Structure 1
Amino acid sequence: MLGLFKRGVTFEGMDCYADQTTHAFMEAGMSSQSEIPWAHQASYAKFTIYFGAVVIFIACLKNIWFRFYDNSYLKNAQTSTNPSLFKSFVSVIISYGRYIGYQPINAYLCKWLALPTSLGSLLFIIASTAYIACYCFIPHFWYRGCSGFGSPPLAIRAGVMATAMTPFVYVLSGKSNMITLLTGISYEKLNGFHQWAGVSTLVLSIVHCVPFMYQALAEGGTSFLAETFDSKYFWSGYPPFVLLVILCVGGNSWIRSRVYEWFLHIHWMCGIAYFATLVWHIDNALDMQRYMWGALAFWATQLIYRALVKTAFRPSALFLKPRPATLTKLPRGTFEVVVTNVADMKWNPGQHCFLRFAGSRVLDNHPFSISSIPCATNKDANELKFIIIPKRGLTGKLYEELNESITLKKKVFLDGPYGGTTRDPLAFNNISLISSGSGVTVCIPFLTYVTQHIAKSIENGTQFIPKDIHFVWIVRYEEHIDWFREEIEQAVSIAADHVTVDIYVSNRKESEHTQIHESSTDEKKIESNQDSKSINAEGINVFFTKPDVKEIVLGSEKYLRRKSMFVSSGSDSMRRSVGSGVSSLQTMVFNSDLDNRTYPIEEIYLHTEAFGW
C-alpha cells in the first residue's frame, strides 16, 4: 500500500509522477490494466443489484405464503384440526424469526444512533452493510502501482456500487412502489431501509472519492492533486455529492420532526437535482447510465400510479376537486376531521391518508390514520374519520381556527389510502388490539370490522373464525373515551360474547369526578369515584391506573388459540412493550408440542402502525 502522503512514490524503479511519459511507464500501465481491467469493474454494480433482488424475492415469497395461508385457513379452519407437517415446519421457522425480530431496540440507542426500532430490522441492516462492505473492500485490489496506470480499483468499485444502489433509493422513496406491491410491506415500514440505502450510497460515494485524493497527494502532493481534479469527471462529482449529503442529513428524524414541511419540499427538490447531476457526472461511463434509467423508470411509474389512483388526479367525477370536510373541536386539545363524498374510495382497517387542506396551506401534506371503515350496504354513506392531536405547523394552525369556532367547514385533497396489513384479520382466532392515545385510530377500525363480521355471521347462522377480541386502550384523560364511545359500545353490543374492552385512564386526578356513560338496555349511568378501581358495564372495563403493557400481552397466553393477531399503535414505549411481549409468546409456537393443549399454536402475528417522520 502507498505510504501516507509520501511524496515521490516509485513503482519498479519508476517515479509515478515524473516518469509518466516514458515507454516503460506506459507498458507497466497496460500490464496493470490487463491484470485488473477497468471495464471489469462494472460487474460489482450487477452483484449489488442481485443482492437486492434476492432479498425482495424472498420477501415476495413470504407475502405469497401468508396470503395462501390465510385463505386456506378461512376455508378449512372449521374442518381441519391439525396443520400439515409442512405448515407446522414453516410456522416454527417463522416463529423463531419473530422471536428475534420482534425484540425492540433500546430507545436511547434508536434516538441517538438513528437505529431501527426492532432487532429484526437492525439485523437485516447489519447483514446488508456487511455484504456491501466485504464486497467493496475484500479481497480485491484497492490501488494500482501508480495513478497513471488508471483509476484506483477501489474508487471505481465503490462508485459503480453507489450507482447500483440508486434504483433502490428511489423505489423505496415512493408511497406506492413496486417493492410494496411485491412484498406487502407498506412504504412507511420501508422508510428505514430507504434511509439506509441513502446513507450506504453516501458512504460508497466517499469511498469513491478518497482513493483519487489519497493517491494524487501521495505521488505528487497538492499540485498533482489540483491537476488530477481539474477535469470534468471530478468537478462534475461535487454537485451530486453535496446534494446527497443534504438528503441524508436532512432525512434525520430529529430534523424531520421539527421542520417537516421544510424537509418535505427540500427533500424532493434535492432528490430531482441529485438524479440529474449524477447522470451528468456518470456521462455514460461503464454503461452506468442503465441503472439511472432503470431508477427513473421505476420512480416515474410509481409517481404516475400514485397520481392516477391515490390522489385528486384520479380520473373520476372529483378530478382535481377537493372533498368537503368538517372539523370539530374535542375535549383536551384534540379535534376531529370527517371527510364526506368518498363513495369512490376503498380502504382497509389500519390504513391512513395524507390530507392537504385547500387554501393558504395547500402545500402541507400530513398522514393521519383512518378511524372509520367503509359502509358495506351504502357507499354513499361512507366517510373518513380522523382524530388529530395538534402540534406545530398545519395541525396547530387548524386548532387555532377551531378556538374561535367549535366547528369548521373545509375543503381537503386526499392522498391514499396507504399502509395497513396484507393479513386478513378474519383468519385469526384471537385478535388483541392495543393502543394508547390517538393511536386508537388504528385499532378502532379492526374492532369495528371484525365485530360486524361476527354479528353478520351470527345473524346468517354461518361459522366465523375470530372468537376472542381483546381491545385495550390507554388514555391520559377520561374525556378521551368519548372519541370512540359510540363505536366501542356498538362493538360490545353486537358481539358481546366475543369482545372484551379494557380502558386504562392514566391521569386519575384529572378524571376523578367525571361520569362514564355505558350503553345498556336500561340506559344506566355509572359514576366513578375516588375509591373505585374499575368499572364494568356490558363488557367495558375502565381502570384508573397506568398498566404494564407487557404484562397485558403476556397475560393473554392462556387465551391464545391456533392463530393469534396483535395490533399495536401509539407511543414508542407502548409499542416496544408489545413487541417484547409478542416476541416472548413465540415460544408457544416452537414449543407447542410441550403444551397440553387440544390444538397447536400455529402463529402469533404482530402488526404495528407508527409514523417516524
Structure 2
Amino acid sequence: MTSGWLPSGTGGKDESREYLERLIYYILHGRVVASWFNYVILATIVVFSVIHWRQKFRDAQRRRILAKPTGNAPGVNICRSSKHRKLLSDDGSGDDIPSSSSSSTLVGKTDDTDVERQPLLGHRTATNPASRIYWSRLSRKLRAWLMYQPRPLPIVNRHLPANGITLFVLGYISVNIFLHLYDGSLLPKYAFPFADRAGYIFIVNLPLLYLLAAKNQPIKFLTGYSYEALNIFHRRVGEWMCFEAVVHSVGMVLDNIFFEVEWLRVGNFWDFFFHPLVLLGIGAFVSYELLFLTSLGSFRQRWYELFLASHVTLQIAALVFCYLHFWTARPYVLASLVIFVADRLVWRLVLKSATIQADLQILEDGKTFLLSADWNVPQVRRRWYQQLFGQSIVHGWRPMDHVFITVPSLGRTHALQAHPFTIASAAPGSGSQEQTTHAWLSLLIRAHDGFTGDLLRHARLNSTVTVRVDGPYGSADALEMLLASDTAVLVAGGSGIAVVFPMVWDLVHTHGHISKGRHIHLLWVIHSRSHRSWMPQERLDELSSAGVHVTIPEPTVEVGRPDVGGYVGELSCSALQADTEIGVVVSGPDALNRAARNACASAVGQGAKVNLRVEKFGW
C-alpha cells in the first residue's frame, strides 16, 4: 500500500517504511491518548459531585439540629485585637467588633447549653496520639493555604485567585501537557504528529469550554458551583485552548517548511497554505484567537457591548470552521453546538425569558439607579421539566440569583445584548404570606459607559421601561452553608449589598426557626454617604430589630478603608473559642474580598471551623 510513497533502494525503503509506520502510529495513538481527557473530566466531576452532596447532606443534618428548640446559643467572649479599626454601627454610635454583650442574636443571650450538640459519652479527656495531632495540624495548615489569596502581581497589578483555585488550574494544565507528550516524540522529523496532537487536545477541550460558559448546565446541580463561580475556569480553559491552537498552527507550518521529508512533500508551501483544509483551519484559528483577545479583562471593561456581540458571532463562525476543518473534530463540535444552542435558545429564550414593565428611580449620587417591578406570583404547579430546568423570573427567584436584562427601546445596538445584574431585593417567600404570592424585583445599577450609561440617560427622561429578563440564575450553596453555621457573617463592599442583603433577609424571615439563637452579622462598607440611599433605611432597621448586628463604617472616602480582616478575624476567633462553626459570605471589590478571605484562612490555620463563599464582581 505504501510502496509507491517510498524512495528507491532497499535500505531506503526499509528506513522509510519504519519512519512512515512510526509517523502513523504517533498520529493515531496521539488521538487516542488525547481522548483520555474526557475520562479525566468525567472523573473530576464525579469527585466534586460526591464532595458536594456529602457536604449538602451534612448541612441538612446540621440545619435540622439547629432548628430544634433546644434553647438559645451560649454567649461568647470574642478575643480582642488592638489592630482593627474602630467601626461605626448602623445607628451611628461608636462600637468595636461586637462581643457577647453587644453582638445580637435573634432571641438574646443565655447560658443554656445545646444538648443536641454534646457527645453522648461526654468530652474525652485522654490526650490524642501525637500522630493524630500532627495530621490534624497539617490538615488545618493545608486548608488555610488553599484558602489564602496572594497579593496582586506587582507592576502589571494582576489579581491572583486563591491558592486552591490556582492549584486546580495548574492541575488541569498538567493533565493537558501529559496527554500532549505521553508516548510521543519531540524529534523534529515527527513535528507533524506533535502538532496534530495539539489540535486534538484543543478539540477535546471544546465541549468543556462551552459547558463552563453555559448558564444552564448540569455542573451546577452536581457540584453546587454556579455559572459565575465556574467562569474563571471557563477563561483558563479558553486561554489554554488558544495556546494549543498556536502550537498546532505553528507546528504544521514549521513541519511543512523545515521538517517534512522530501518523499512525502506534495507541492510547495503556497500549495500547502491555500489548501482548503488549511484555509478552514486558519479560519478557526483566527476566530478563536479573536475570541481570546476580546475576552481579556481590559477589553471587556472598555468595550463590553462589542465583547458580547463578538462572543456570539465568533463562536458560531469558529464552530463552523472547526466542523469543516477535519472530520475527527466533528463529534466534539456537534456536542459543543448542542450545548450552545440548548443554552442560548431553548432555556434562555423560551423557558427562562420574560418581558416586564419596570420603574426607574435615580438615587442620591446621580450615577446609580434602581430598576424595579412587582407582580403577583403565579400559583400553579410546576411541571417536571420546569422543576428540573427552572422557570422565568415571573415565578420567583432565590437569594443571590442574578438575571440578564435587555432593553430593546434603547436602540438596535442594545436589542440583542443581555447584561447581568444581581437581584437586590428579597426573594418571594421571604417573610409574610403576602410576600409568598407577590414579587418585588429590584436591580441596583451603577452607570458606566455603554448600556448602563444609556439606560441612565433614559431614566432621566422616562420613569418606566420595557425590559426583557433572562433568568434567574445562581446557586443556593452559600445560603445553605450559612443555614448550617452557628454564626453567619455577611460582608458587602459598595453595591455588593445587592448580593448579601437578600441572603440575610432570607435568613431572618424565611428561616427564622433555624436561625433562632444564633449570631448574624452584616458589615456594609460604603465609599460615600450618598451610597446609603442604595438600601432603604427601614430595611436595615427591620434587620436590626430582628436581631441582626448591622455594622456600617464611616465612608472610605472620609476615613479610609476599615479593617475588614480584623472584623472577620475576631468573629472567627470567637467561633474558635466556642468550638462552633462560622459561615462567611463576602461580596465586593477584589481588595475587600482578599482581606476577608485571608482572615478566614488565618482562622482556619488556627483551628477555627470556617466556611467561606466569595462572590466576586465581574463577568
* Equivalence for 2:293: 249
1:478 maps onto 2:529 in alignment: yes
Mapped partners of 2:154, 2:231: distance in 1: 18
1:65 maps onto 2:51 in alignment: no
Tell me: CA distance 1:23–1:404, structure 2 relative to 1, closer, same or farther (3 Å). Answer: same
1:311 maps onto 2:353 in alignment: yes
* Equivalence for 1:439: 496
Deviation at 1:28, TM superposition (A): 3.3
Cα RMSD for the two superposed structures: 3.1
Tell me if structure 2 keeps the 8 A contact 1:44–1:160. Answer: no
Tell me: CA distance 1:421–1:134, structure 2 relative to 1, closer, same or farther (3 Å). Answer: same
Residue type of the alignment partner of 1:489 = D
Match of 1:200 among 236, 240, 263: 240
Tell me if structure 1 keeps the 8 A contact 2:30–2:184. Answer: no
Match of 1:45 among 34, 38, 46: 34
1:488 maps onto 2:540 in alignment: yes
5 Å-filtered alignment, 1:504-523, equals 504-506=553-555
Tell me if structure 2 keeps the 8 A contact 1:429–1:468. Answer: yes
Tell me: CA distance 1:441–1:230, structure 2 relative to 1, closer, same or farther (3 Å). Answer: closer
Mapped partners of 1:245, 1:450: distance in 2: 45
* Equivalence for 1:31: 18
| Cα deviation digits, residues 187-218 of structure 1 (max 9, x gap) | 11211211111121121122223333223322
Match of 2:318 among 246, 254, 274: 274
Mapped partners of 1:60, 1:109: distance in 2: 37
Mapped partners of 1:447, 1:19: distance in 2: 75
Residue type of the alignment partner of 2:595 = S
Tell me if structure 2 keeps the 8 A contact 1:426–1:466. Answer: no
Mapped partners of 1:196, 1:372: distance in 2: 33
Mapped partners of 1:229, 1:23: distance in 2: 34
Tell me if structure 2 keeps the 8 A contact 1:429–1:465. Answer: no
Give the secondary-structure state (helix, strand or coil) at the position aligned to 1:374.
coil
Residue type of the alignment partner of 1:607 = R
Match of 1:571 among 566, 589, 592: 589
* Equivalence for 1:415: 470
| Cα deviation digits, residues 340-377 of structure 1 (max 9, x gap) | 22623232222211121231233332211112123322
Mapped partners of 2:498, 2:225: distance in 1: 20
| Cα deviation digits, residues 245-267 of structure 1 (max 9, x gap) | 10111110100011101110111
Residue type of the alignment partner of 1:209 = S
* Equivalence for 1:541: none
1:100 maps onto 2:106 in alignment: no
Q: Greater relative contact order: 1 or 2 (C-alpha under 8 angstroms, separation 6 or more)?
A: 2
* Equivalence for 1:157: 197
* Equivalence for 1:179: 219
Deviation at 1:82, TM superposition (A): 5.0
Mapped partners of 2:62, 2:570: distance in 1: 26
1:341 maps onto 2:375 in alignment: yes
Match of 2:358 among 325, 339, 359: 325
Mapped partners of 1:325, 1:418: distance in 2: 20
Mapped partners of 2:422, 2:138: distance in 1: 33
Tell me: CA distance 1:162–1:364, structure 2 relative to 1, closer, same or farther (3 Å). Answer: closer
Deviation at 1:280, TM superposition (A): 0.5
Residue type of the alignment partner of 2:439 = N
Mapped partners of 1:310, 1:93: distance in 2: 46
* Equivalence for 1:400: 457
Deviation at 1:292, TM superposition (A): 2.2
Mapped partners of 2:29, 2:47: distance in 1: 29
Tell me if structure 2 keeps the 8 A contact 1:443–1:569. Answer: yes
Match of 1:81 among 114, 118, 126: 118
Deviation at 1:234, TM superposition (A): 2.3
Mapped partners of 2:149, 2:155: distance in 1: 10
Long gaps (5+) in structure 1: 1-17, 313-321, 458-462, 510-543, 592-600
Mapped partners of 1:28, 1:230: distance in 2: 31
Give the secondary-structure state (helix, strand or coil) at the position aligned to 1:473.
strand
* Percent identity (aligned): 22
Tell me if structure 2 keeps the 8 A contact 1:427–1:465. Answer: no
Tell me if structure 2 keeps the 8 A contact 1:142–1:152. Answer: no
Deviation at 1:156, TM superposition (A): 1.9
Give the secondary-structure state (helix, strand or coil) at the position aligned to 1:384.
strand
* Equivalence for 1:300: 341
| Cα deviation digits, residues 295-321 of structure 1 (max 9, x gap) | 223333333233333223xxxxxxxxx
Residue type of the alignment partner of 2:464 = K
Tell me: CA distance 1:465–1:26, structure 2 relative to 1, closer, same or farther (3 Å). Answer: farther
* Equivalence for 2:617: 611
5 Å-filtered alignment, 1:88-237, equals 98-108=143-153, 116-137=160-181, 140-143=184-187, 145=189, 152-219=192-259, 224-237=268-281
Tell me: CA distance 1:196–1:25, structure 2 relative to 1, closer, same or farther (3 Å). Answer: farther
Tell me: CA distance 1:269–1:110, structure 2 relative to 1, closer, same or farther (3 Å). Answer: farther
1:557 maps onto 2:572 in alignment: yes
Deviation at 1:186, TM superposition (A): 1.2
Tell me if structure 2 keeps the 8 A contact 1:102–1:119. Answer: yes
* Equivalence for 1:500: 549
Deviation at 1:95, TM superposition (A): 5.6
* Equivalence for 1:460: none
Deviation at 1:508, TM superposition (A): 6.8
Tell me: CA distance 1:374–1:138, structure 2 relative to 1, closer, same or farther (3 Å). Answer: closer
Give the secondary-structure state (helix, strand or coil) at the position aligned to 1:107.
coil
Task: Compute the TM-score of the two structures, normalised by the length of structure 1.
Answer: 0.78
Residue type of the alignment partner of 2:148 = Q
Tell me: CA distance 1:350–1:433, structure 2 relative to 1, closer, same or farther (3 Å). Answer: same
Residue type of the alignment partner of 2:147 = Y
* Equivalence for 1:363: 416
Tell me if structure 2 keeps the 8 A contact 1:358–1:410. Answer: no
Tell me: CA distance 1:387–1:90, structure 2 relative to 1, closer, same or farther (3 Å). Answer: farther
Tell me if structure 1 keeps the 8 A contact 2:399–2:427. Answer: no
1:426 maps onto 2:483 in alignment: yes
Mapped partners of 1:83, 1:152: distance in 2: 68
Mapped partners of 1:412, 1:187: distance in 2: 23
Long gaps (5+) in structure 2: 69-115, 125-132, 378-393
Tell me if structure 2 keeps the 8 A contact 1:350–1:446. Answer: yes
Match of 1:354 among 404, 407, 419: 404
Mapped partners of 2:418, 2:170: distance in 1: 33
Tell me if structure 1 keeps the 8 A contact 2:573–2:603. Answer: no
